[in-house]
């Protein structure tokens, strides 16, 4: 109990360092503003298409798909299945008088998942600054002369950083939900998502579960980026250098993985596995031989390495200089 009490005090101290800085609240305000701006643009864009007859649009789509199925002899089996299912789904919309392009509360929530990358960037900045800033401010010696071990100090910093990440995720979801409710009405909370399986079976599922799935996969990538930034922070004495390198690896990594996707060994890179949404229905992985279980194994391996390196760098580091 004494160990937990000591850890709790350290975490409280780290939270004070995070939330007493004006920069933190500017980050939070920026994230909420970005979600509000995205929601406003979505609403404005939907208003531009308000005069479009969605029934005629679906009929025209079905006519096109049918012509392709009848006249295009070069269609692959995958394309044939896609066109057939789209025709069936559009017919269902027409029969049930459902406009698939109509915005709902959950449209805003699902689209806000794309802004989790912004929340990740903001958290990475905090993570990269957690240890390196102690050297920049010259407070590292004062921190280490206390009774707490280096391992406990490191753990408290990591938990406080994850707490900030969780706060941003909750704010992202809540802000998008509020924006969608204000713009489209909260009566859409119980609305179901209509999808069609590859076998041609139309299914209704919960939008809430669908949103949690998107956010859940995004949490994995956020956790990996934050842990990587935390490791980098342990290696630098300058917070600006730690932040710069963390953001560089984060922003360039995915681009490099895409450019090198033609090579088989690219599947072992962190950035090739970090986006688990590539395994959602309608998406495809970077490499055809990659599976969800393979990516999870790779991410666990990288996570262990990042934690081990961060611990070694921080606990074995000479701070006399």
Over residues 176-185, the pLDDT tens digits come to 999 988 888 8
Considering only residues 138 and 123, tell me which one the structure prediction assigns the higher pLDDT.
Answer: 123
Alpha-carbon distance values, 165 to 30, 88, 119, 121, 160 (Å): 15, 42, 7, 10, 9
Residue 79 maps to a domain: no
**Comparing C-alpha atoms, which of 225, 220, 254 is closest to residue 128?**
225
Which sign, positive or negative, has the C-alpha torsion 175, 177, 178, 184? positive
Residue 99 lies in a domain: no
**3-class secondary-structure state, position 24:** helix
- The closest alpha carbon to 113, from 228, 206, 230, 221, belongs to 221
Residue 236: alpha-carbon gap to chain centroid: 26
Alpha helices in the chain (DSSP H): 2-19, 22-48, 54-71, 77-96, 105-112, 116-130, 132-137, 140-144, 150-184, 207-235, 239-259, 270-273, 292-315
The mean pLDDT value for 260-283 works out to 80
pLDDT per position as a tens digit, 3-40: 677 788 888 988 888 898 898 999 999 999 999 999 98
Instruction: For residue 148, give its domain range.
Output: 2-46+105-184+212-315
pLDDT, residue 297, reads 92
Question: Regarding predicted confidence, which is higher, 146 or 292?
Answer: 292
Assess if residue 53 is contained within a domain: no
The yes-or-no verdict on residue 187 having pLDDT over 70 is yes
> What number is the average pLDDT over the span 262-285?
80
The confidence score (pLDDT) of residue 272 equals 86
How far apart are alpha carbons 222 and 218 in whole angstroms?
A: 6
Question: Residue holding tokens 């990740």?
Answer: 120
- Whether 74 is covered by a domain: the verdict is no
DSSP letters, 227-286, are HHHHHHHHH-S-HHHHHHHHHHHHHHHHHHHHHTTTSGGGGGSHHHHS-GGGGSTT---S
- 76 lies in a domain? no
Residue 316 has pLDDT above 80, yes or no: no
Residue 300 has pLDDT above 90, yes or no: yes
CA dihedral sign of residues 118, 122, 125, 126: negative
Look at residue 259 in the predicted model and tell me its pLDDT.
84
Residues composing the chain: 321
First-residue to last-residue Cα distance in the chain:
35
pLDDT at 282 over 70: no
Report the DSSP beta bridge partners of residue 195. 203
- Which residue shows structure tokens 């929530």? 109
Structurally, the chain folds into a number of domains equal to 1
- Residue 11's pLDDT is 87
Closest CA to 175 of 29, 36, 38: 36
Q: What does the pLDDT read at residue 302?
A: 92
pLDDT over 90 at 77, yes or no = no
Q: What is the pTM of this model?
A: 0.81
Q: How confident is the model at residue 288 (pLDDT cuts 50, 70, 90)?
A: confident
The answer as to whether 190 is a domain residue is no
- The pLDDT tens digits for 142-174 are 777 767 787 888 888 889 999 999 999 999 999
Residue at 296 is within a domain: yes
The share of the chain scoring above pLDDT 90, in percent, equals 12
Q: What pLDDT does 14 receive?
A: 85
Instruction: Supply the pLDDT for residue 1.
Output: 64
For the ranges 5-9, 218-222, 271-275, which has the lowest average pLDDT?
5-9
- Per-residue pLDDT for 48 more than 80? no
- pLDDT for residue 134 is more than 90: no
Average pLDDT over residues 264-276: 85
Q: Which of 114, 188, 136, 126 is nearest to 158 (CA)?
A: 126
Residue 257 inside a domain? The answer is: yes
């Amino acid at each position: 109990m004494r160990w937990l009490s000591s850890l709790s005090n350290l975490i409280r101290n780290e939270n004070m360092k995070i939330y007493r800085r004006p920069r933190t609240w500017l980050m939070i305000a920026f994230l909420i503003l970005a979600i509000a701006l995205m929601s406003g643009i979505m609403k404005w864009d939907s208003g531009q298409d308000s005069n479009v007859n969605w029934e005629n649009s679906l009929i025209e789509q079905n006519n096109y798909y049918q012509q392709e199925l009848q006249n295009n002899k070069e269609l692959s089996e995958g394309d044939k299945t896609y066109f057939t299912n789209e025709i069936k789904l559009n017919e269902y919309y027409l029969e049930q008088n459902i406009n698939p392009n109509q915005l709902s509360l959950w449209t805003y929530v699902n689209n806000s998942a794309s802004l989790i990358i912004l929340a990740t960037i903001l958290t990475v900045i905090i993570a990269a600054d957690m240890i390196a800033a102690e050297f920049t401010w010259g407070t590292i010696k004062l921190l280490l002369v206390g009774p707490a071990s280096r391992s406990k100090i490191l753990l408290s910093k990591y938990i406080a950083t994850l707490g900030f990440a969780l706060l941003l995720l909750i704010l992202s979801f809540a802000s998008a939900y509020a924006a969608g409710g204000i713009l489209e009405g909260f009566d859409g909370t119980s609305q179901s998502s209509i999808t069609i399986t590859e076998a041609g079976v139309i299914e209704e599922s919960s939008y809430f579960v669908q949103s949690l799935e998107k956010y859940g996969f995004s949490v994995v990538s956020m956790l990996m980026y934050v842990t990587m930034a935390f490791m980098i922070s342990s290696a630098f004495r300058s917070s600006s250098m730690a932040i710069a390198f963390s953001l560089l690896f984060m922003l360039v990594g995915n681009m490099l993985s895409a450019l090198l996707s033609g090579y088989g060994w690219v599947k072992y890179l962190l950035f090739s596995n970090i986006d688990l949404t590539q395994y959602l229905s309608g998406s495809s992985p970077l490499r055809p031989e990659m599976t969800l279980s393979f990516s999870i194994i790779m991410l666990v391996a990288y996570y262990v390495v990042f934690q081990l390196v961060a611990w070694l760098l921080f606990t074995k580091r000479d701070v006399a200089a």
